[in-house]
Structure formats: structure tokens, C-alpha cells
Amino acid sequence: MRAVAKFLVVMTSLAAPGIAFAQDTVPLDTASDALNSGDNAWLLVSSALVLMMCMPGLTLFYGGLVRAKNFLSVAVQTGAIAAVASVLWMIAGYRIGFGEAGNGYFGGGDMWFLSGTDGLLRGDYAVSENTYALFQMTFAAITPALMVGAWVDRARFGWVVGFCALWGLVVYAPVAHWVWGGGWLATRMHVMDYAGGIVVHTTAGVSALITAVLMGKRLGFPRQLMLPHSPALTMVGAALLWVGWFGFNGGSAITADDSAASAIINTHLAACTAALVWLLLEKIKVGKPTSVGFATGAIAGLATITPAAGYVAPWAAIVIGAVATLACFPMIQFVKGRLEIDDSLDVFAVHGIGGITGSLLLAVFLSPTLGGAGYDDGYSMISQLAAQAVGVGAVAIWSAIASAVLAVLVSLVIPMRIGEDDEREGLDLASHGERAWEFE
């Protein structure tokens, strides 16, 4: 009888790879055969793809956009943020974000240092708890790293590391619980976010805007042109981000099946469309389509499709990609030109606005009449749109307030900015004693 039971569990797992058991964790001594090796392997590969987005993708994308004297500072900041975020995620972040759901705001249980996760399945998925924790760790690593673009050329390295370390535990991990870990936005408000339009891009975008305001403008902004020193590196970085995003969105299916393929198709279509529309707008506005414009447009499309990637039809992904450019392109000029906020590499305009826009459009294109996955019982387009708006608003407010408080508190110990002389010299030499490029 025991052999028959094991056989039935295996067959069930193979027939429905995305479905396991309803409880939070399942001991492998009773469900080891329910672990789907294909799903588990896909999530491991997706984890590597997401980490590639951060290092080297984001490093090259941002690094090419800054002046040559600040390239290494971007690389070191991105790497250090990913490192400290990864360590803290395994110590406490995963428990806060995905521990046992209780009060709706923070996870509970005994998952400190991933305690007790060996030999468990993750909730309703046929993947191990450790694999799931690894996958979520890569999200926790890249999200604060996105904010680097807001303070390039002027931020003190120690402040960056200290702020982002606290930010991951105070802002990112609780929001992940609210939306993905059985928290109040998901269970009470029915907020939906497939792969991070709210959890990743709204938190990082809004926080980046707040820190840019607190840190102040770069010397010479906005009068002095601060041109990218290597659009070629930015294009390479964007390409790595684009490919890595397949793990970001496709991996969020948690299963190696058609749902992952659908998410990847939608991701690619949105990026393609947004990049092409961005080139068209550049041609109309400035007379020439640029490589930096193509790269920026692609990232805007990727950020905007992220919350809806697994829920909408391919044609809707094309529309979302076009809307991404129409929303993000003018926002860059509004933030820098009209508001004169030095969000240096447009983190809020691209990631923040993209994530918010996609999170709201999700409610529209979720409609089954438009080819979407459909609404749950009792929900319609209007009620889902209201839920999404509440989710975006709550996360934006929390991100703004918490980021402002954390930024000021850390600055009491480590100043936010380097001195003016160091800023003129460049952060590579001033902060790290190295040059990215030696031409002699």
C-alpha cells in the first residue's frame, strides 16, 4: 500500500506540476516524491538569470550611462548591495517576507537563518523551500540595487550600503509579505502582482525619488550636460537585463509549463514594442533614434509588463509595451525638467512609473473577454482596478515614508554625499582609489 501511495503522489505531481499541497510547508518524509525536479530545476535556472540581471546586467546598464570617472563606483555599489541584501535575506528577510502568515504585515515562524527549511516543499508548489528562498533572494538583491541610478556621481559608499541593508528589511521584505506572502494586500484587498510591479518596481522607484530629493542635485545639474560615457556598455547591460527578465517573470510561474512560456512571451513582446515606440518618439522629438533610447524603452516595457506577465494575452502585452513608453518617456522630462529632481538615471520615471502603470493595466487586461486569466469570484474590472490602486498607493506611501526615515537615520552616522572636490574628481578615485579605464 505504501508503494501504491507513493506511485499516486508521483503521478499527481507529473500531471499537475504547479500543484502540491495547501499547507505552508510539506515534510519530505511524507511528500518527497511530490517534488517536481523539472519545476525545481527551472526555478534554480531562473534564480541564476535574475542574479545575472543584477550582476552584470544592471552594472553595465547603469555604468554606461554615467561619466567614465564614476563607472567603478556604480559597479561596486551594485555588487555590495546585492551581497548585503543576499546575506540579510537569508538571515531574516525571507522569514519576514515568506514566513508563516499571521498578522498580515510580517511573516512569522522559525525561519531565521532559513532554520528548518531543509527537506520541505514550498506551500502549493512542487519545489523545495530552499529553492524558493533562493529565487526570492535574487529579487531582494536586485530591487535595492535598482535605486543606485538615483544617486550616481555623488553618494557616499558607506551610506549606500547602510541604507540599502536596512531598506531591504524595513521596506522590501514587509511589502513582499503583503503581496506574495499571504499578507493583508493579497488576502484582504485582493491585490495582484505577478512578478513585482508593486513589490519591486514601485518600492524601488518611489524610494529612489525620495532619496534623490534628500541627497540633492549633482554639481552642475541641470545646466551641465552629463552624457553617458559608453552607450555600448548600456546596450550590453540592457541585453543582459532583457534575457535575465525571462527568469524574473518566467520563473515567477514557479512551474516549468505553459504558464512560464506565456509569461516569457508577454515579457518579450512588451519589451520589443516599448523599445520600438521609444525609438519612434525620439525620432519625432530629437530627430534621431538612439541606442540609449532603445535600451531605456526596453527596460520600461519590461518593468511595465512585470505585474501582468502571466495574466494577460500576447496582444495585451503589446499594448502594455506601447503604453509603457507613452507613460515613461514624458515622465523623464517632467521629473528632471519641470520638477528639477536629479533622479540621475531615471529610476522613478522608468521603473516606478512603469511598475505602477502595469499594475493598474493588469486590472483591465485581466478580463476574460480580452483574453486575460479572469477575475476571481465577486471581482470585476472596476473592483480589481480599485484594489490595484489601493495596493500601489499603500506601497508607495510606505516606501516614501520609510525610505525618508531610513535615509536620514543612516546619514546621522554616515553622511549621504561625498564632498564637492571628491565629486569633481569622481567617485572611482575618491571612494575606491581606482580608475575603471587606464588609457596611458
* Residue 439 lies inside a defined structural domain of this protein: no
pLDDT at 48: 98
In a domain, 44, yes or no: no
Cα–Cα nearest to 436, from 75, 83, 65 = 75
In this model, does residue 31 exceed pLDDT 50? Answer: no
Q: Name the least confident of 27-31, 149-153, 226-230, 275-279.
A: 27-31
- pLDDT mean over 86-91: 97
* Residue in 330, 387, 397, 327 with CA at minimum distance from that of residue 357: 327
Q: Which domain holds residue 140?
A: 51-119+127-415
Mean pLDDT along residues 7-26? 35
For range 111-118, the mean pLDDT: 83
User: How confident is the model at residue 283, as a pLDDT?
Assistant: 96
Residue 25 lies in a domain: no
User: Is the pLDDT reported for residue 32 higher than 90?
Assistant: no
Assess if residue 330 is contained within a domain: yes
Three-state helix/strand/coil letters over the chain: CHHHHHHHHHHHHHHCCCCCCCCCEEEHHHHHHHCCHHHHHHHHHHHHHHHHHHHHHHHHHHHHHCCHHHHHHHHHHHHHHHHHHHHHHHHHHHHHHHCECCCCCCCECCCHHHCCCCCEEECCCCCEHHHHHHHHHHHHHHHHHHCHHHHCCCECHHHHHHHHHHHHHHHHHHHHHHHHCCCHHHHCCCCCCCCCHHHHHHHHHHHHHHHHHHHCCCCCCCCCCCCCCCHHHHHHHHHHHHHHHHHHHHHHHCCCCHHHHHHHHHHHHHHHHHHHHHHHHHHHHHCCCCHHHHHHHHHHHHHHHHHHCCCCCHHHHHHHHHHHHHHHHHHHHHHHHHCCCCCCCCHHHHHHHHHHHHHHHHHHHCCHHHCCCCCCCCCCHHHHHHHHHHHHHHHHHHHHHHHHHHHHHHHCCCCCECCHHHHHHCHHHHHHCCCCCCCC
pLDDT category at 13 given cuts 50, 70, 90 is very low
Q: Is residue 428 part of a domain?
A: no
CATH number (domain holding residue 150): 1.10.3430.10
pLDDT at 440: 54
Task: Tell whether the torsion through CA atoms of 108, 402, 325 and 235 is positive or negative.
Answer: negative
Higher pLDDT, 360 or 9: 360
Name the more confident of 377 and 288: 288
How far, in Å, CA of 277 to CA of 175, rounded?
32
Lowest mean pLDDT among 33-37, 115-119, 404-408: 115-119
pLDDT of 158 above 70: yes
In this prediction, residue 368 has a pLDDT band, given cuts at 50, 70 and 90, of very high
pLDDT of residue 387: 97
Q: What is the pLDDT of residues 225-234, one digit of tens each?
A: 899 999 999 9
What's the first-to-final CA gap in the chain, in angstroms?
76
State the pLDDT confidence band at 438, using cuts at 50, 70 and 90.
Answer: confident
Residue 190 falls inside a structural domain: yes
Instruction: Give mean pLDDT, residues 67-74.
Output: 97
pLDDT 10s digits, 91-104:
999 999 999 888 89
Q: What is the pLDDT of residue 118?
A: 77
The model carries a pTM of: 0.91
Specify if 3 maps to a domain. Answer: no
Task: Decide if 95 contacts 112 (C-beta within 8 A).
Answer: yes
Q: HSE of 140 in the Cβ direction (CA atoms, 13 Å)?
A: 36
Mean pLDDT of 321-329: 98
Counted domains in the chain? 1
User: Residue 17's pLDDT band (boundaries 50, 70, 90)?
Assistant: very low
The pLDDT assigned to 124 comes to 81
- What pLDDT, on a 0 to 100 scale, did the predictor assign at position 308? 98
Q: Is residue 94 part of a domain?
A: yes
pLDDT computed for residue 101 by the predictor:
81
pLDDT at residue 378 is higher than 90: no
State mean pLDDT over 114-134: 86
More confident residue, 111 or 44: 44
